[in-house]
Amino acid sequence: MKKLLIASAAIALTAGMASAEDIKIGISMGFTGPLESMSPAMASGAELAIKEVSDSGKLLDGSTVTAIRADNTCADAAAAVTAVERLVTADKVNGIVGGMCSGETIATLEKVGVPNGVVMISPSDTSPALTTIDDKGFFFRTSPSDARQGEVMADIATEHGVKNVAITYTNNDYGKGLAESFKAAFEKKGGKVTMIAAHDDGKADYAAEVGALAAAGGDALAVVGYVDQGGSGITRGALDSGAFSTFIFPDGMVGQALVDKFGAELETSFGQMPSSEGEGRDKFVEAAKAGGFDGSSVFSGEAYDAAALMMLAMQAAKSSDPKVYKDKIMEIANAPGEKIGAGELAKGLELLAAGTDIDYDGTSAVELVEPGESAGTYRELDFKGGTMNTVKVR
C-alpha cells in the first residue's frame, strides 16, 4: 500500500511538472531610433511584470515566463518586420509587448502578428488608424488613441491662453494623426492654426522648416515629433532663432531627455502624456525605483500593464496559446470583478485560477474600450524651473 501511495504521488508530481511551460513574451521596442531614450524604461516596465508573475509560480501550474527583447527601430518598417518575425519564428514567443511606434506596428501586425495568430499589446501606439485596422482580434493597446490626445492638447493650449498656433509634425502615421486631431480640436474651440507642416527625422539642419514656421507665426509652436530626432532639432532651431519661446509637447517629446536638452529654456512651455494617478501607479513607481529604472517615464507603466494583461488573460483562458487567450483580454481588463493593481499580479492569478472574475486596473487605471484600446487619462505637464512637473491629471 505504501509503495502504491508513493507511486501515485510520483505520477501526480510528474503530471504537474509536465503541465508547466516556459512561456516567452517578446518585447518589441525601438532600442535604436527616434525614441531610443524612452525604450529602456518601457522594456523594464514590461519585464517587471514578467518577473513578478514568473517568480510567483502561480501562472498555469507553475509556468515560468521569459522576456525576449527585439529592436524594431521604430522608424524602419522593414527592420521592424524582420525583428518581429524573428520573435515569432525563431524564439516562438507566446505574445508580444509592442510595437512602439504606430507605423512599424501597423506593418508588423499586418505582416507578422495577424498571419501568425500572435497577440500584440502596444504600450505606446496612439495613431487613430489602429482603431479601425483589421486585426482579427489580436491587437490591443494600453495607450489611448490620439483622437483623444488631440482634444486634451487643445484644452490645455486654450487654458494657457494660446489663440494662434503653428504645428510641426514628424512625417509618419503618429505625427500626422495627432497633428490633425489637435488642429481639428483647437479650431473647434475657436483657435487659429497658422501653419501645419511635416518635418523629416534624421536631418542635421532644420533652418528651412523653422523659417517657414516663423513666417507663419503664432503664440506657440506645437512640436508633434520625437525627442531623439527631428522634434528636438526643430525646437533647438526655433529657440536659437527666436522664432518661438513657447512650445506644446505631446507624448513623443515628453521625457527626461527633453529636460536634459533644453532645461530652463522651456520655462513657458507645456504638454501632456498618457498617465494616471493613484495607488497602482505609486506602487509601480516604487517597484521601478527598486528595480533600477524610472517608473514615471512615459509609457513605462503602460508597458507593465501590457505584459500583465497578456499573462492574466492566459490564466483566465487556461492556455498560453494566443489564439485562445486573446478572447479573455477585454474581459479581465474591465468590470465586473475584483480590482487588481500593480504589484498584485499573484493575487490576480490566484483569483482567476479559482474561477473568480477580476478587473485589472494596473498602473494606468486600465479600462479598455472597443476595439481593445485604453479609454485614457493624461498627465498635464509644465517645465518651470528647468524640470518636468505634473500640473494635474485629466
Q: What is the pLDDT of residue 134?
A: 96
Let me know whether 306 and 343 are in one domain.
yes
Residue 322, C-alpha cell as written in the block: 494566443
**Per-residue model confidence as pLDDT tens digits over 254-305:** 999 999 999 999 999 999 999 888 899 999 999 999 999 999 999 999 999 9
How many structural domains are present in the chain?
Answer: 2
Q: Is residue 13 part of a domain?
A: no
Let me know whether 216 and 358 are in one domain.
no
Phi and psi based region of residue 48 (left: phi greater than 0; alpha: psi -120 to 50; beta: remaining): alpha
Q: Is 107 helix (H, G, I), strand (E, B) or coil?
A: helix
Residues (pLDDT < 70) of the chain are 1-18
Q: Is residue 2 part of a domain?
A: no
Let me know whether 68 and 163 are in one domain.
no
CATH of the domain at 336: 3.40.50.2300
Q: How many CB atoms sit inside 10 A of residue 17's CB?
A: 10
Measured CA to CA in angstroms, residue 23 lies from 60, 66, 230, 269, 321 at distances of 10, 6, 38, 45, 10
Let me know whether 205 and 220 are in one domain.
yes
Let me know whether 110 and 170 are in one domain.
no
**Per-residue model confidence as pLDDT tens digits over 334-374:** 999 999 999 999 999 999 999 999 999 999 999 999 999 99
Q: Judge if pTM exceeds 0.85.
A: yes
Q: Is residue 14 part of a domain?
A: no
Let me know whether 235 and 168 are in one domain.
yes
Q: Is residue 9 part of a domain?
A: no
Q: Is residue 12 part of a domain?
A: no
Let me know whether 205 and 328 are in one domain.
no
| Domain ranges, residue 270 | 147-274+377-393
Burial class (CB in 10 A: 0-12, 13-18, 19+), 392: exposed
